[in-house]
Structure 1
């Protein structure tokens, strides 16, 4: 992974517009069924966020690129599923992954609207739940009511850890070029931990909300 990320950071640090495009595509492709299971979109976003403290990239544009890519990716997958219904789940290449499709369906049927929210934080079903929600007939308003807040939480959870990690390294006197070359993994690890913590906390809260009240 480092052999891929290090040259990417070095190249896009000199081409800001390409960095924003890369962020947009990384977020978008993560939502494409099958493709999203193999594209390390989250890792790319976490790594490129390390360019914000040094001024190569602007935080607001990084967040906007990630949010736009995720919303368009999830929305497109949902609409494709909604238009073709369950038929899309039985066509290539989705029919090559019956286990993941079954997992996504079970997750969606068990959690309902919350499945759309949580799926944004849970690979690999993140790439399958939007199309599954559409294929199973979830109403458009319900889908976007869950998806938009999830994306608005998901993007900062992936961008800010990298910004904070590299900023902290700078405060300890680590030169900018060294921190980018050797410590972007700190951003990835910290971001993954934060995303996992957010997902766990939200899932625990949702489970508590549906817990039946026992009679005294």
Structure 2
């Protein structure tokens, strides 16, 4: 694992644009109905954000990529629902997930416009609420008035933990006797830990039936 992470850091250092593209796609795909329920976008964002303190990536670029991907993903889903109305909820592939559609509608009816805000922090509903909001006739201005502030809070909430963790470990690494080699030890540990934790959470949720949205059985 350590050698893999070291290779990743080296690769990203020479191809930062690809890391920003990965961040953008991770945030975008999380907002795509069905796909967003299985893409570990949050984990990818957290892991790559750990490369900011070392200078491999820039904080502004990481935040911008995450925000842009989320805005485009949520906005596209909303407009698809807005143009198609309720018809989209009964067509493939949405029709294969009636339980999640029902949950998204109930969530939206309970919280109204705030559902769009809260859903940004609640997977896997996050991937279904924007298109549901559009299909139920939520005005575009109201959607964006709630969605964009939510994304502006969501992005730092996913990026800053990785940045702060590595920054603190680099700063106080000398206390563990690592000296100038703190980055060499701690960055792979943080990134690898994020990936391992995400795999464990995904496995547990899948085993309990909550991590992956399964289509309705006919």
Structure 1 ranges of 4+ moved more than 4 A: 4-10, 185-190
Q: Deviations over 1:24-57 (max 9, x none)?
A: 0000000000010000000100110000000000
Q: 1:172 to 1:25 in 2, by over 3 A?
A: same
Which stretches in structure 1 are left out of the alignment for 5+ residues?
A: 191-216
Report the counterpart of residue 82 of structure 2 in structure 1.
82
Give how far 1:133 is off: 0.1
Give the whole-Å Cα distance in 2 for the aligned partners of 1:116 and 1:5.
36
Give the whole-Å Cα distance in 1 for the aligned partners of 2:135 and 2:128.
11
SS in 1 for 2:123: coil
Report the counterpart of residue 95 of structure 1 in structure 2.
95
Q: 1:169 to 1:115 in 2, by over 3 A?
A: same
Report the counterpart of residue 31 of structure 2 in structure 1.
31
Q: 1:139 to 1:160 in 2, by over 3 A?
A: same
Report the counterpart of residue 212 of structure 1 in structure 2.
none
Q: Deviations over 1:111-151 (max 9, x none)?
A: 00000000000000000000000000101111001001000
TM-score normalised by structure 1 residue count: 0.81
- Matching residue within 165, 177, 181 for 2:184: 177
Give the whole-Å Cα distance in 2 for the aligned partners of 1:71 and 1:6.
32
TM-score normalised by structure 2 residue count: 0.80
Question: Is the aligned partner of 1:114 residue 2:114?
Answer: yes
Q: 1:104 to 1:183 in 2, by over 3 A?
A: same
Report the counterpart of residue 45 of structure 1 in structure 2.
45
Q: 1:92 to 1:14 in 2, by over 3 A?
A: same
Give the whole-Å Cα distance in 2 for the aligned partners of 1:85 and 1:180.
47
Whether contact under 8 Å (2:9, 2:56) holds in the other structure is no
Give the whole-Å Cα distance in 1 for the aligned partners of 2:190 and 2:96.
37
Report the counterpart of residue 73 of structure 1 in structure 2.
73
Computed over aligned residues only, the root mean square deviation of the Cα atoms, in angstroms, reads 2.5
Q: 1:17 to 1:137 in 2, by over 3 A?
A: same
Give how far 1:10 is off: 5.6
Whether contact under 8 Å (2:5, 2:192) holds in the other structure is no
Which stretches in structure 2 are left out of the alignment for 5+ residues?
A: 174-180, 198-218
